[in-house]
Structure 1
Amino acid sequence: MDASLRPVRTRRAVLPAAAAVTALLLGGCSGQGSPAASAPGRAASASAAQRGGAATATASLQSDYQRVIKDVLPSVVQIDASNSLGSGVVYDNQGHIVTNAHVVGKERAFKVSTSGSGAAVTARLVSSYPEQDLAVIKLDTVPDGLRPARFGDAAKVEMGQIVLAMGSPLGLSSSVTQGIVSATGRTVSEGSAGGGTGATIANMVQTSAAINPGNSGGALVDLAGEVIGIPTLAATDPDMGGGAAPGIGFAIPVSMVRTVADQIIRSGRVTDSGRAALGITGRTVVDSGYQPSGVAVVQAQAGGAAAKAGLRPGDVITKLGGTEIATITSLTEALAGDKPGQKVQVTYTRDGAARTAEVTLGEI
């Protein structure tokens, strides 16, 4: 993808006043037919029946939207940090809220506003996991009627599913946008500029639902009313001066959300990342034409996966399994799709000669 990615956090300095907004729902049309003996009459009757069917389908879809919004929106909150706003999703009855790590940043105390509530509730950070851009905060007091969201099954998410994105884009609390699942299984790298964590995240859900600054940490929801992802990134188009690329947003899959949130709530931190590692510090190298051509090993961690396989500083990694490696980013993205303990073939050069080694991947 030529487009770059940015975290969708809203900075307070550029916010309009927060205001509740409602979803724009589809309207319908209706028609009535009348018996007719002639062909034109039958055609008119068929046309009226089609219009009636379309009106019924539209009304049914509108009813689904309204039901999901009514069920899920109370579980989506606005998170107010000192210099930014983001969104979060109520995770359980104990007041745990899951959100993005780039929403909480380095702060430890927050104000949280629930849908339809007047006063904000204070909250504190439980733990942040920037490597997957997820964090959990906990309300100091649990308001009456706080409703945890229902979290779905990542294995059932498919292209073409209708989804709703809920959050506080541009500080407009309780906002809803609509789209579809455009793709699944995307591996994307988040920039570190603008408050991003620099994380490379695998298996993300791509969606056409509008994702704007402030949507970060909110909910991507299917028509069953289940959260299938946490909206996190929006694509930007360098040909448009870095402006938003409409209809291209990404959400962290619900499976990873559950894995990270459950560990943080249970242990106060992530104890099992599930993320593969080579155990090296590296840098991108370029060829004689100044084009990226591999990743040079600057340091191989003692006892790490690469060192155990015989790699050492000065080696240049050019392939991981069947994936060509030209930059640090491409190496990170390739590793994001692998698991700790998995055996992969690493192709590298040493003193100008090509070599290969079988590496048993470690864990971050």
Structure 2
Amino acid sequence: MDVSRTRARLHLPLAALVCSVALIAGCSSGSGSSPAQDGTTTQAAAPAAANDLQDDYLKVIKDVLPSVVQIRASGDLGSGVVYDDNGHIVTNAHVVGDEKTFKVTTANSEDELTATLVYAYPQQDLAVIKLDKVPDGLKAASFGDSSKVQVGQIVLAMGSPLGLSSSVTQGIVSATGRTVSEGSTGGGTGATIANMVQTSAAINPGNSGGALVDLDGRVIGIPTLAATDPTLGGTAPGIGFAIPASMVTKVADQIIKDGRVTDSGRAALGITARTVVDDDYQAAAGVAVVEVKSGGAADKAGIEPGDIITKIGDTDITTITSLSEALAAEKPGDKVAVTYTRGGSEKTVDVTLGEQ
């Protein structure tokens, strides 16, 4: 399955989730309750449960939506989340693109505010911008613990799909721990991102950089990607991905403190490379090393320009994307076996991974 950024089309109708409770009455005579009374009790339980869930939705939306903003970069629209009381806003790197200044609209005002880029980190598709003037009442969002996110958990996606500011959709967490590669065409960063949260909540163009929120009102992820189905040439409804809150806070905290990312947590070989094809020019056959960073992981292991990497550990490497995905599963300092060919001979060497 290919994955494209959220500006790709993804349409999913908003669904209402209703939880009903069935009450089982005793069947012995003389219980003191009649079938009619039991029926009344059962019918009353379902609306009560639905009302409780609706109240939860309304409370979360009231609490969190004021922290979700619309970001305009040139002609493009995206979303962002207020990170702190100083006017820092976290969003996707592909939302800010190459821009340095932005127009921001908050949920409770139509007035456009101005903001300036602090730093963009395309490798993780995250960026931080800062409002030039912090308006009264600006509310920072609360970020949750990604390690506690569970499959089946109800979530709400908040943002500005198709320019419709302060929009909310709902769904569940469909999976966790997904490694997803973003396309590099049409403004995408080409990033390969690990540990993403998969959700069925509708993520449409403009949702990028917004908030994926649990029913406790905590942001558990930043909606970033929507899946496409290559066999149909269109989107795969109900399959969206969000960068986990733990990575968002790790990157944002470094950007705010140091003006850049100083500890990415992303493993790297320290090479520039390209995909190569087989002798029949029909299929990708590996990754050719074009340049080796001096003193980097590959350099220390003796890998040279011209080598063709075919495996990382037991994982076959056929393309740059597959190499990125294999490295995304590792951490800086991990030792992995790298298999490559040189002059027609296959070699395997242990490499202690560096940091991207």
Do Structure 1 and Structure 2 share a fold, with TM-score over 0.5? yes
Name the stretch that deviates more: 289-298 or 317-326. 289-298
Q: Deviations over 1:91-115 (max 9, x none)?
A: 0000000000111111111111111
Q: Equivalents in 1 of 2:64, 2:154: separation in Å?
A: 15
Q: Which residue of 2 aligns with 1:279?
A: 270
Q: Which residue of 1 aligns with 2:61?
A: 69
Q: Which residue of 1 aligns with 2:338?
A: 346
Q: Which residue of 2 aligns with 1:16?
A: none
Q: 1:310 to 1:233 in 2, by over 3 A?
A: same
Q: How does 1:87-102 map to 2 (within 5 A)?
A: 87-102=79-94
For structure 2, list consecutive stretches of 5 or more residues without a partner in the other structure.
none
Name the stretch that deviates more: 95-104 or 299-308. 299-308
Q: Equivalents in 2 of 1:318, 1:209: separation in Å?
A: 37
Instruction: Indicate if the aligned counterparts of 1:346 and 1:356 stay in contact, CA closer than 8 A.
Output: yes
* Residue type of the alignment partner of 2:99: E
For structure 1, list consecutive stretches of 5 or more residues without a partner in the other structure.
12-22
* Residue type of the alignment partner of 1:240: L
Q: Deviations over 1:237-278 (max 9, x none)?
A: 22333x221100000010110011001100111112111111
Task: Say whether residues 1:268 and 2:259 are aligned partners.
Answer: yes
Q: Deviations over 1:40-70 (max 9, x none)?
A: x855544433322222211111111111001
- Aligned to 1:261, the other structure's residue is in SS state helix
Deviation for aligned residue 1:140: 1.0
Instruction: Indicate if the aligned counterparts of 2:8 and 2:226 stay in contact, CA closer than 8 A.
Output: no
Q: Which residue of 2 aligns with 1:254?
A: 245
- Aligned to 2:231, the other structure's residue is in SS state helix
- Aligned to 1:239, the other structure's residue is in SS state coil
Q: How does 1:1-364 map to 2 (within 5 A)?
A: 2=1, 4-9=2-7, 42-241=34-233, 243-289=234-280, 290-364=282-356
Q: 1:271 to 1:35 in 2, by over 3 A?
A: closer
Q: 1:283 to 1:28 in 2, by over 3 A?
A: closer
Q: Equivalents in 2 of 1:291, 1:284: separation in Å?
A: 10
Q: Deviations over 1:179-229 (max 9, x none)?
A: 000011111111111211111111110000000000000000000100000
Name the stretch that deviates more: 222-231 or 49-58. 49-58
* Residue type of the alignment partner of 2:340: Y
Q: Equivalents in 2 of 1:77, 1:277: separation in Å?
A: 34
Q: Equivalents in 1 of 2:42, 2:74: separation in Å?
A: 54
Deviation for aligned residue 1:359: 0.3
Q: Equivalents in 1 of 2:142, 2:107: separation in Å?
A: 16
Q: 1:35 to 1:335 in 2, by over 3 A?
A: closer
Q: Deviations over 1:125-184 (max 9, x none)?
A: 111111111111111111111110000001101111000000000000100000000011
Deviation for aligned residue 1:29: 9.3
Q: 1:168 to 1:10 in 2, by over 3 A?
A: farther
Instruction: Indicate if the aligned counterparts of 1:74 and 1:115 stay in contact, CA closer than 8 A.
Output: yes
Q: Equivalents in 1 of 2:330, 2:266: separation in Å?
A: 7
Instruction: Indicate if the aligned counterparts of 2:18 and 2:49 stay in contact, CA closer than 8 A.
Output: no
CA RMSD of aligned residues (A): 2.6
Q: 1:38 to 1:171 in 2, by over 3 A?
A: farther
Deviation for aligned residue 1:27: 7.4
* Residue type of the alignment partner of 2:214: D
Give the number of aligned pairs. 349
Q: 1:315 to 1:10 in 2, by over 3 A?
A: closer
Q: Equivalents in 2 of 1:145, 1:171: separation in Å?
A: 23
